[in-house]
Structure 1
Amino acid sequence: MSDRFEGSAHVELVDWVDVPAGELLRGTPVDDMDGLVRRYADTGVPVEWYRKEAPRRRVHVPAFRIGRTQVTVGQWAPFAEETGRPGATDAPDDHPVVGVRWDDAVAYCHWLGERHGVLGVRLPTEDEWERAARGDDDREFPWGPEYRTGLANLVDLGLGTTTPVGSFPDGASPFGVLDMAGNADEWTSTLYAPYPGAPDDVPLVEDWAFDPHITRGGAFRHDRDLARCARRHGAYEKDLRSIGVGFRPAMSA
C-alpha cells in the first residue's frame, strides 16, 4: 500500500508494507553456534558475536506496517533543510540516506507523521524488523536459506557505496520488503540487551558501542554474516556515514 504525500518542495512516497500478526522464530538455537562459526569462518566473526542471537524463541508479533525501502536522500532532504539535522545528502536522491544518528532517525519519523497527519510513525522494533525480514519460517536470509551474491549490496559486490533503494528485487523478504540485507544498516527502536535465557557469557551491555540501540541488516561495507535475519548488530564506530547507518519507518497496524 502506498501513501503519497504532497509537500511544498517534494513529493514523498512512503510505500508501506502491511505485515500481518504472526509468530516469529526469533534468534538462533544455542546448538547452532559452532556451525555458524564454521559456515562463516572466512569472515573471521567469533562465536561470541553470534551468541547474542541465542536462544531461539517463538514470539508473537502484532500486525504492523514497515517501509518497503530505506529512507532515501530525497526523502530526508526536506527534513534536513527544515531542522538542520545532519545526514549524507550528496548521494543521488534514490539512494538510502546514511550517517543518521538514532535520535535524528526518531525525529524524522515524528516529523513525517506530523507533517502529513499520519499518526504513530516510528522506527521498527527489533522483533518487527526480524519478522519483516524472515517471515513465518527460520530462513537464514530474507530471500531463503542460502547466501547468494547479487541479491544484496554487501562487500562481496565490491561497490564500496550505496545503490538506489530496491535495486535487488530478487532479494526481497517473504512480505516483499526490499534491502533488508545490505545497502544501509538500519536503526531499530530496541536498546541492546541479551535475550531472555541467553548464554551466561553474553554481555549485559555493549559499552563499546557508539549508540546502545540495535541495528539490523548490514550495509554495503559489511560481509554476508550481517545479512542474516537473526544477526544483532550495533553502531560500533562514531562515523555513521562511513559504516552506512540508515533506517526505514514503521507504524503499528
Structure 2
Amino acid sequence: MDRAEQAEQVRHAEQVDWVEVPAGTLWRGTPVEEVARLAHRYADTGVPVEWYLKEAPRAEIHVPAFRIARTQVTVGQWSLFSAATGRPVPRAPANHPVTGITWEAATAYCRWLGNRLGGLDVRLPTEDEWERAARGDDDREFPWGDGYRTGLANLVDLGVGTTMPVGSFPEGAGPFGVLDMAGNADEWTSTLYAPYPGAPVEVPGAEDWAFDPHITRGGAFRHDRDLARCARRHGAYERDLAAIGVGFRLAAPAG
C-alpha cells in the first residue's frame, strides 16, 4: 500500500456518519406509578425494583439540537488513535465496536478526533441526548418501538456471546436512524450518576459500588432485554470493562 492509499484509508476511518437530532422534547424516564409494574414485567431478568426506581420520575425535558454518530466507535477507528497514542487495541474485528474502554480513554479519543477534524467539539453524548436519540418525540420503550423482539439487537437472548459488526440490526434503528442503541456495547455518556430531581427517597444519592461514576446506556451483548429499554440507567459496575462490554458513541454540536 503506497502513502496515498494509506492516507485515504486513514481519512475514511476518521469520518463519522453523523445523524442530526433536532431540538425537541424528551419524555425522560419512567413515571413512579409504573415502576412496580415494570419490575414485575421483567421479573425473569432478576432485576430488583430499586434499579428501575432510578428512572423516576418522568419529566418533560427540552433537548437542544445535536449530532450523534449512527454507530458505536469501532475497533478499526480506535486503532488509529492507538497508533498515535500507544493505547492498546482490543482483539476483535475492525468493524466491531471497541470495548474495554475507560471513560477517560473515551473522552481522550473524542478530543483527539475533534482535533483531526479541524477543531470540531467531538464529545460523549449527555444522558439526556442519548435518551432523546433513542426515544425521539414519544415515550417508546425500546429504540424501535414498544415491543421487544429477539433479533433487533445483540443482547444475551440472541446467544452470540460477543460483539457483532456495528449496524448489524437496521430494523432495530431508533426514530432518527441511529443504530445499535440497544445491545452490542454498553455506551458511556458524559453524565455523572445522580438521582433525577424529585426521585423517590429510596434512590441512592451516589453509586459508591460502581467502578466509574458516569452513566452508561443501552446494554451490551451480555445483558438482558431490560437494558435495551430507552429509559434504563446503567453503569460500569465491574472493573473488567471488556468483559462487561463497555464502549462508546460520539456526539457533537448540531451541524
Could you tell me the TM-score, scaled by structure 2's length? Answer: 0.95
Partner-residue secondary structure (3-state), 2:191? strand
- 2:130 is the counterpart of 1:129: yes
Q: What do the CA deviations read for 1:16-75 (whole angstroms, capped 9, x no partner)?
A: 000000000000000001111111010010000000000000000000000000000000
Residue matched to 2:64? 62
> For each residue in 1:126-181, what CA deviation from the matched residue of structure 2 results, as whole angstroms up to 9, or x when unmatched?
00000000000000000000111000000001100000000000000000000000
Distance in 2 of aligned mates of 1:87 and 1:77: 6
- SS of 1:53's partner is coil
Of 75, 78, 85, the residue aligned with 2:77 is: 75
Match of 1:111 in 2: 112
Letter in 2 for 1:231: R
Q: Indicate the residue corresponding to 1:195 in structure 2.
A: 196
| Equivalences for residues 139-158 of structure 1 within 5 A | 139-158=140-159
Report matched runs for 1:39-54 at 5 Å: 39-54=41-56
How many aligned residue pairs are there?
247
- Percent sequence identity is 76
For the 8 Å contact 1:25–1:138, the answer to whether it is kept is yes
Establish whether residue 181 from structure 1 lines up as the match of residue 193 from structure 2: no
List alignment gaps of at least 5 residues for structure 1.
1-5
Deviation, 1:84, is: 1.8
Deviation at 1:116, TM superposition (A): 2.1
Task: State whether residues 87 and 100 of structure 1, in contact with CA within 8 Å, keep that contact through their aligned partners in structure 2.
Answer: no
Distance in 1 (CA, whole Å) between partners of 2:168 and 2:119 is 27
Q: Find the residue that maps to 1:127 and give its secondary structure.
A: helix
Residue 31 of structure 2, aligned match among 26, 29, 32: 29
Q: Against the structure 1 CA distance between its residues 7 and 209, is the aligned structure 2 distance closer, same or farther, given a 3 Å change threshold?
A: farther
For residue 237 of structure 2, what is the amino acid of its counterpart? Y
Q: Partner letter of residue 199 of structure 2? A: A
Shift of 1:96: 0.2
Deviation at 1:8, TM superposition (A): 7.1
- Normalised TM-score (structure 1): 0.96
Paired letter, 1:80: S
* Separation (CA, whole Å) in 2 of partners of 1:7 and 1:249: 22
Q: Tell me how far apart the structure 2 counterparts of residues 251 and 86 of structure 1 sit (CA, whole Å).
A: 25
Question: Does residue 1:138 correspond to 2:142, yes or no?
Answer: no
Give the drift of 1:86. Answer: 3.5
Q: Indicate how the Cα distance of structure 1 residues 116 and 35 shifts in structure 2: closer, same or farther if over 3 A, else same.
A: same
Which of the pair is proportionally richer in strand? 1
Alignment gaps of 5+ in structure 2: 1-5
Equivalent residue letter for 1:226: L
Q: Could you list the per-position Cα deviations for residues 189-220 of structure 1 after superposition, in whole angstroms to 9, with x for gaps in the alignment?
A: 00000000000010000000000000000000
The AA in structure 1 aligned to 2:222 is R
Q: Aligned letter for 1:49? A: W
CA distance in 2, matches of 1:92, 1:119: 28
Partner of 2:94: 93
> What secondary structure does 1:14 align onto?
coil
| Equivalent AA in structure 2 for residue 188 of structure 1 | T
